[in-house]
Structure 1
Amino acid sequence: MVERVDRTYTKDEVMDMMEPLISTWFNEKYDDLTIPQAKAIPVIHQRRNVLISSPTGSGKTLTAFTSIINELTRYAREGTLEERVYCIYVSPLKALGNDVNRNLNTPLAEMREVAERHGMNIPNITVAVRSGDTSQAERQKMVRHPPHILITTPESLALILAAPKFKDAFKKVEWVILDEIHDICDSKRGAFLSLTLERLRNHCDNDFVRIGLSATLAPIEEIAAYLVGCNPDGTPRDVALIESGSKKTLDLQVICPTSDLTALSSDIVNSMMYDTLKELIETHDTTLVFTNTRSGAESDVYKLKERGLENIEVHHSSLGKDIRLDVEERLKHGEIKCVVSSTSLELGIDIGSVDLVCQIGSPKSVAKGLQRIGRSGHSFGKVAKGRLLVFDPDDLVECAVMCRAAHRGDIDRVGIPENCLDVLSQTVVGMSLDNRWDIDEAFDLIKGSYCYRNLTKESFMQVIRYLGSKDDFEGVYSKIWYDEEENLFGKKKGSRMIYFMNLGTIPEEANYRVINNHGTVAG
């Protein structure tokens, strides 16, 4: 059942719930609580599932972690803090995961300083990132010494559940945080994550607390149900819904480089657009430019450098890990004049004092536009300044409508996909790696996912028969072992390789490693 929670606690009430170390650190660092913190920290402290919906820059990430760090500090004080994973933080972007890792280690270091000054017990809370960027040596280290807080992506979490050794550290997970849940729940990737959470729930000794962090989006009740999954009767499990109610102040303008787009050729309009963009960048301290494609980001940097603009960088997920981390770190410290990105910097990353966001062309949705523009003034109470540059009539209309909708608060409605049988097939193969499954037990687990609450037994059996190659599908070989008489399925030789090679819903690309003349991996 989805229950709206409107009570706002005072700072003193919230701090009274915290360990002395946490309350001392918080009082020294912050004057007051943000609205999401004042509403949500007590709910998380009560170990209730919760979805927190508030504008970008309102302190949602700190809200989610405050009570968790408090509990880990209490375990350390009582001498019961074990070497295992207590909290899993799932991020849709590797860059966001790396940023949260940095932003978590900073307060933990500050807490250790506070503990030393006040003669308190110093908790040794560990944090680690597991994603496609994680080296083999770091992965082996995690197996030997699991972190208390693990930051990962949906795909890496699914891989961990198929890892015989590391998944044992997840037996007693107590919290799972889904950040930027609005960005993932409306795609097949979201359906994949929903099934992965049900598998994790089945693997754990006890159920864990689910914490979802979302920008303002509709229908929020459906997103809350997606977060927690469903009971056997199809109703959503219990979840508290918290909406901050605060709106970020917007400074939006649609900029067209000419008064008549139809009177000039596209080449001239494009050239004028880049001249306008250069002027905007030069009149601000730090500018973040968004395009809709990686190739567009590379092209824009080239065009701006042609016009004499210096200290400009590009950032997207195809670049090498070292290059991306270097750009993020320099941007955070205000050392770069401008960064051009596709989607890799649009979600909750703390990117310092960006005072202008420019969007080239239409962002294609109100929510995505607000998410990107919210990167400027990315702190509570600051103004988000955005300029949308258009160079064709269709984009002009779309951006004008988007700006009006943003000011009115008319947000896109997300559509959560249901009964995606290709995603289900992946999950069934992954489940087969764990042990032999009774068909009915496996079906019950699948139905716990909100995306599959309406799945029929007939459709499920069609997937099982297809994967077990029990029907006459030309050219189809079996991916699992399936015994019709015993009503069981499990892995067969080659199942693990099939699963690892085909996991996830992000389209496969043919990639070539690019190495520059200095021997550095460019991407």
Structure 2
Amino acid sequence: MSNEALFQIAEDWFKSKKWESFEFQRQTWDAYLNGKSGLLNAPTGSGKTYALWIPCVLEFLKHHELHDIKPEVQILWITPLRALTKDIRSAMQSFCDDLDLRWKVGLRTGDTTTSERQKQKKEAPQALVITPESLHVLLSQGDYPNYLKNVKSIIVDEWHELIGTKRGVATELAISRLKKLSQGKLKIWGISATIGNLPQAKRVLLGEDLYRVSVSIKSEIEKKIEVTSIMPDEVEKFPWSGYLGVKLIDKVLPIIKESNTTLLFTNTRSQTELWYQAILKEAPELAGIIAMHHGSMDQHIRSWVEDALHAGKLKLVVCTSSLDLGVDFRPVDSVIQIGGPKGVSRFQQRAGRSGHGPGEVSRIYFVPTHSLELIEGAALRTAIKNGKFEQRKPLEKSLDVLVQYLVTLSVSGGFRPLEILEEIKQTYSFRLLTGEEWNWALEFITTGGSTLGEYDEFSRVYNDDGIYKIINSRAAQRHKLSIGTIVGDPAMSVKFITGGHLGTVEESFVSRLNPGDTFWFAGQNLEFIRIKDLTVLVKKSKRKSGLTPSWGGGRLPLSSLLSDLIRSKLQLAINGDFSDPELEKIKPILDLQSKMSMIPDKDSLLIEKVETEHGYHLFFFTFEGMFVHEVLAGLIAYRMSKLQKITFSISMNDYGFELLSDQEIAIEEGLELDLFTEENIYQDINESINMTEMAQRKFRDVATIAGLIFQGYPGKNIKARHLQASSGILYKAFQEYDEHNLLLKQSMEEVMTLQLDQSRFMEAIRRINKQKIILKETEKPTPFAFPILVDMIKRERLSSEDVTDRILKMQMQLERSVGDD
């Protein structure tokens, strides 16, 4: 059958749905059927799935009769989120069913039941929607070469979410193995909606061999996104973080009530729980049509929420990034973002959850958590209008992922080192792997390295006449349970004492609870009864108050792109341009800032010096984001302490940081001695923030991925303090006896590149050294300084007086004093 005839089949199907195909879809069909690999870039809701799924089916029809079906996996569709799988599978299966093609589209994720996996093993589906972790679990099966040998295509959905992560590295490695199995006949395609470095993203995914002959297809469809900032009636001249968001709930509720269905996004699971409670308190009539969705909730609850969203049964879902990506909930016509999303791409993805169909308008409302955050609202609108998105920097030489992958191959029958080395060097991540690093990895999996060689537990793999394999069934089972690169704090299952799981909370939170304490989780107030078999047993409570769990990893770094845009918006204000409604709204704050101090332009660094009842303060306004400020504050504090004997307390937000001391700070002398110099900067950073301690904490994750630390069997997880103790012992042993251990080196590098964002930090230092540094001594904290000052008060909780009341009192006192002046 000719390509033209095949295209007609697709076009007829589109017409039956009363749709029209787009040019980018037809281009993708043509490229795919001509044997090409590539990357597709198209906006959310434009039909990206059909652009690549349809040619997969058409290629089969080109060479086979409609009912010439064999039970073999031909297509692997890799997706980063389990929440995406059902929706994608439904779309794929629907096309096959409508053509009367008896293909089965299967799901393979961590939620797939054992019985379903057994069915897939006995009778393989023709397509498998799968997560990176589940694909590696497949590669640990002894029969994987036979099971996957007929895979013709791998489609990686939402590739921008994987690149730059260890999950992305694991995806690269899995693809390298499947390329070899296919004997060069495998097509690789990536789908990405938002990413700033598309050519590099394609190169990382496809590898050097396919990249040279690949194609890039970009949709010309312009996705219409309406960004509306929710404005307070009045702006506080001294704003503070976290207060304004909930204060605007009266303006949020009408949006919810006037929409068919709304997704309300927060940046953390804790905020999701808090907003759910606040909305129900203010609008109890939403009970029954409001739900919550985040990654720590039980999978069955999350699935129910997703199904109810599809069916249009819910008015509102309060959620986190668990619903960020490609899920097509057509009833959703409004999205609300609480607080700055800290990145343009993340904001655009969330906006795309509304108006998900081709040609529909996506509407997103931005709710600031403090007045100054309105600048972010203006910056986000400008970025989306101009099509500016963040780049995702790929990881290189993640040796912990490589070690895990090699053990996976050892479990599934073994591997020949030279053959696998040739494959992995075709990946972007390991293209520069040295012979020394490769030999270290082989020695590590066979003996545990020079330090652990005497312990049988770490000698997992042995060399059987040139084939590296594992025959110890216990070691093999432990490895299969540990496959994956997402390492978090140990979680404990939350279960009603009468039965029924709600999800998981972190052990560190549970350790603070006493029997009878209440906490909010999954939208319910729960009373803690006891812990049994590492399960938190609870019952419903009628109390109105309770704690809210906190989860690690909640902080999001402000992207470099958004930092630049915020500076640009402030420059507009300096120039008298208040055409953005957000800038016009906060003009009183900016005017007061100018009166009390100044607004720094793009070529200036403002430092404010002020004395209050709390001590002597220095406020630095660099607008580089929390992560950069954390390092920069430590560096400046350390360098100042070398000039004078002094102790500092440090606070920060995305716009600046504070140094506070009980004695006057000799900042003038520090500036004269070039406080921001690059000379000895890494040595000073190491001294200021205890890099060794940070590397030791990072080592726990690296060691877990590499298989040195076993987190326990299902339902019998090892306690966090034991895991930390184990990683600490290993770290110190390597430091003392194997200081060149590559996992130690990797831990330190990850602290610098991922946790401290070394390249971004150095960009900030170089920018500062080109700026004019302006020191202003003020009588009182300025509007820019006040939110940072509040952060210190919230952390220290210096009195029994309610913290919120204290802050409001300070706010009013400052506003009165400024008014009197």
TM-score (norm 2): 0.57
1:275 counterpart (246, 250, 256): 250
Cα shift readout 1:69-104 (whole Å, capped 9, x = no counterpart) = 223345552654211111111110111011111222
1:350 counterpart (325, 328, 337): 328
- CA shift for structure 1 position 41: 1.1
SS in 2 for 1:437: coil
Cα shift readout 1:174-207 (whole Å, capped 9, x = no counterpart) = 1111000011112111011111111222334553
Cα shift readout 1:461-505 (whole Å, capped 9, x = no counterpart) = 222222222642258753443559x76533252542342232111
Q: Percent identity?
A: 28
- CA shift for structure 1 position 224: 0.9
Q: Distance in 2 between matches of 1:435 and 1:322?
A: 35
Cα shift readout 1:344-372 (whole Å, capped 9, x = no counterpart) = 11111111131111111111211111011
Q: Distance in 1 between matches of 2:196 and 2:246?
A: 38
- CA shift for structure 1 position 455: 1.6
Aligned to 1:243: 218
**Matched AA of 2:106:** A
- CA shift for structure 1 position 416: 0.8
- CA shift for structure 1 position 25: 2.5
Aligned to 1:254: 229
* Aligned CA distance change for structure 1 residues 142 and 437 (closer, same or farther; 3 Å): closer
Cα shift readout 1:94-138 (whole Å, capped 9, x = no counterpart) = 1101111122233333333xxxxxxxxxx2111111111111111
Aligned to 1:99: 87
Q: Distance in 1 between matches of 2:160 and 2:167?
A: 12
- CA shift for structure 1 position 295: 2.2
Query: Do 1:480 and 1:489's aligned partners in 2 also have CA atoms closer than 8 Å?
Result: no
Q: Distance in 1 between matches of 2:290 and 2:4?
A: 43
SS in 2 for 1:77: coil
Aligned to 1:463: 441
Aligned to 1:169: 147
Q: Distance in 2 between matches of 1:190 and 1:352?
A: 29
Q: Distance in 2 between matches of 1:174 and 1:150?
A: 12
**Matched AA of 2:50:** L
* Aligned CA distance change for structure 1 residues 270 and 63 (closer, same or farther; 3 Å): closer
Instruction: Report 1:381-396 matches (<5 A).
Output: 381-392=359-370, 395-396=373-374
2:165 counterpart (175, 182, 187): 187
Aligned to 2:98: 110
SS in 1 for 2:418: helix
Q: Does 2:481 align with 1:501?
A: yes
Q: Distance in 2 between matches of 1:199 and 1:499?
A: 19
1:59 counterpart (47, 68, 76): 47
Query: Do 2:262 and 2:315's aligned partners in 1 also have CA atoms closer than 8 Å?
Result: yes
Cα shift readout 1:121-174 (whole Å, capped 9, x = no counterpart) = xx2111111111111111111111110111110000000111124653211111
Q: Does 2:466 align with 1:478?
A: no
Query: Do 1:315 and 1:339's aligned partners in 2 also have CA atoms closer than 8 Å?
Result: yes
SS in 1 for 2:322: coil
Aligned to 2:337: 359
2:5 counterpart (7, 12, 16): 16
SS in 2 for 1:168: helix
* Aligned CA distance change for structure 1 residues 336 and 463 (closer, same or farther; 3 Å): same
Query: Do 2:67 and 2:102's aligned partners in 1 also have CA atoms closer than 8 Å?
Result: no
- CA shift for structure 1 position 211: 1.6
Query: Do 1:19 and 1:74's aligned partners in 2 also have CA atoms closer than 8 Å?
Result: no
1:306 counterpart (281, 301, 322): 281
List gaps (5 residues or longer) in structure 1.
1-12, 113-122
Q: Distance in 1 between matches of 2:426 and 2:87?
A: 32
Aligned to 1:491: 470
Q: Distance in 2 between matches of 1:141 and 1:356?
A: 40
Instruction: Report 1:50-89 matches (<5 A).
Output: 50-74=38-62, 77=65, 80-89=68-77
Instruction: Report 1:310-325 matches (<5 A).
Output: 310=286, 311-325=289-303
Query: Do 2:239 and 2:370's aligned partners in 1 also have CA atoms closer than 8 Å?
Result: no
Q: Distance in 2 between matches of 1:238 and 1:283?
A: 50
Q: Does 2:499 align with 1:510?
A: no
* Aligned CA distance change for structure 1 residues 267 and 491 (closer, same or farther; 3 Å): closer
- Range that drifts further, 393-402 or 31-40: 393-402
- CA shift for structure 1 position 384: 1.3
- CA shift for structure 1 position 396: 3.5
**Matched AA of 1:412:** E
1:144 counterpart (93, 102, 122): 122
Q: Distance in 2 between matches of 1:359 and 1:352?
A: 19
* Aligned CA distance change for structure 1 residues 455 and 266 (closer, same or farther; 3 Å): closer
* Aligned CA distance change for structure 1 residues 268 and 431 (closer, same or farther; 3 Å): closer
SS in 1 for 2:176: helix
**Matched AA of 1:513:** S
Instruction: Report 1:26-37 matches (<5 A).
Output: 26-37=14-25
Query: Do 1:377 and 1:385's aligned partners in 2 also have CA atoms closer than 8 Å?
Result: yes
Query: Do 2:6 and 2:62's aligned partners in 1 also have CA atoms closer than 8 Å?
Result: no
Cα shift readout 1:59-78 (whole Å, capped 9, x = no counterpart) = 00011111112233455526
**Matched AA of 1:239:** S
Aligned to 1:447: 425
Aligned to 1:294: 269
- Range that drifts further, 347-356 or 501-510: 501-510
Query: Do 1:160 and 1:167's aligned partners in 2 also have CA atoms closer than 8 Å?
Result: no
Of structures 1 and 2, the larger Rg is shown by 2
CA-based RMSD of the aligned residues comes to: 2.6
- CA shift for structure 1 position 394: 6.1
SS in 1 for 2:439: helix
Aligned to 1:5: none
**Matched AA of 2:90:** R
Q: Distance in 2 between matches of 1:513 and 1:306?
A: 27
Q: Distance in 2 between matches of 1:274 and 1:173?
A: 51
- Range that drifts further, 140-149 or 331-340: 331-340
Query: Do 1:357 and 1:387's aligned partners in 2 also have CA atoms closer than 8 Å?
Result: yes
Bigger relative contact order (CA 8 A; separation at least 6): 1
SS in 2 for 1:143: helix
TM-score (norm 1): 0.88
Aligned to 2:407: 429
Q: Distance in 1 between matches of 2:459 and 2:207?
A: 27
SS in 2 for 1:468: helix
Query: Do 1:261 and 1:391's aligned partners in 2 also have CA atoms closer than 8 Å?
Result: no
Q: Distance in 2 between matches of 1:427 and 1:267?
A: 43
Query: Do 1:143 and 1:165's aligned partners in 2 also have CA atoms closer than 8 Å?
Result: no
* Aligned CA distance change for structure 1 residues 79 and 269 (closer, same or farther; 3 Å): closer
**Matched AA of 1:340:** V
Query: Do 2:141 and 2:412's aligned partners in 1 also have CA atoms closer than 8 Å?
Result: no
* Aligned CA distance change for structure 1 residues 85 and 403 (closer, same or farther; 3 Å): same
**Matched AA of 2:396:** E
Query: Do 1:143 and 1:166's aligned partners in 2 also have CA atoms closer than 8 Å?
Result: no
Q: Distance in 2 between matches of 1:187 and 1:323?
A: 28
Q: Distance in 1 between matches of 2:444 and 2:372?
A: 44
Query: Do 1:99 and 1:349's aligned partners in 2 also have CA atoms closer than 8 Å?
Result: yes
Aligned to 1:4: none
**Matched AA of 1:345:** L
Aligned to 1:216: 194
Query: Do 1:289 and 1:340's aligned partners in 2 also have CA atoms closer than 8 Å?
Result: yes
* Aligned CA distance change for structure 1 residues 239 and 159 (closer, same or farther; 3 Å): same
SS in 2 for 1:85: coil
Query: Do 1:177 and 1:212's aligned partners in 2 also have CA atoms closer than 8 Å?
Result: yes
SS in 2 for 1:51: strand
Aligned to 1:44: 32
